[in-house]
């Protein structure tokens, strides 16, 4: 699984426009094959920071997302509403198979 986390500083005067963009992007992306979850959130400490959290079944699914018309439209509109540097992080996550571990044994601790 691939997880993507992003922080997008938005212009306060464009907040409603950004929320509309985020709603359109979320709806279209959640319908994509390989999308596990995709949503935007507003920061509690800074309501002018839009946070993005995505989960994808594979890197191929994520790369396909970058080729969609709705992604192209979002990226075209985004420079007009941001107020700073956008940061994103991508993580490859491997889930643990529940059948492979004895539930009576504690999980190893990593220091």
Residue at 104 is within a domain:
no
**Max Cα-Cα span within the chain:** 55
Residue at 50 is within a domain:
yes
Number of domains observed in the structure of the chain: 1
Residue at 27 is within a domain:
yes
Here the CATH number for the domain that contains residue 6 is: 3.30.70.100
Total residue length of the chain = 111
Gap between the Cα atoms of 35 and 39, Å rounded: 11
Q: What is the pLDDT of residue 109?
A: 60
Q: Judge whether 53 and 5 are in contact, CB under 8 Å.
A: yes
Tens digits of residue pLDDT in 53-110? 999 999 999 999 999 999 999 999 999 999 999 999 999 988 776 445 544 555 556 6
Q: Judge whether 49 and 10 are in contact, CB under 8 Å.
A: yes
Gap between the Cα atoms of 8 and 47, Å rounded: 11
Q: Six-digit token pair at 36?
A: 């596990």
């Amino acid at each position: 699984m691939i997880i993507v986390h992003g922080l997008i500083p938005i212009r306060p005067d464009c907040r409603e426009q950004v929320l509309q963009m985020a709603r359109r992007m979320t709806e279209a992306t959640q319908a994509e094959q390989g999308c596990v979850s995709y949503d935007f959130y507003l920061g509690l400490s800074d309501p002018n920071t839009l946070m993005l959290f995505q989960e994808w079944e594979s890197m191929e699914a994520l790369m396909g997302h970058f080729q969609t018309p709705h992604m192209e439209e979002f990226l075209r509109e985004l420079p007009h509403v941001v107020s700073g540097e956008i940061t994103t992080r991508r993580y490859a996550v491997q889930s643990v198979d529940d059948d492979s571990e004895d539930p009576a044994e504690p999980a190893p601790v990593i220091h």
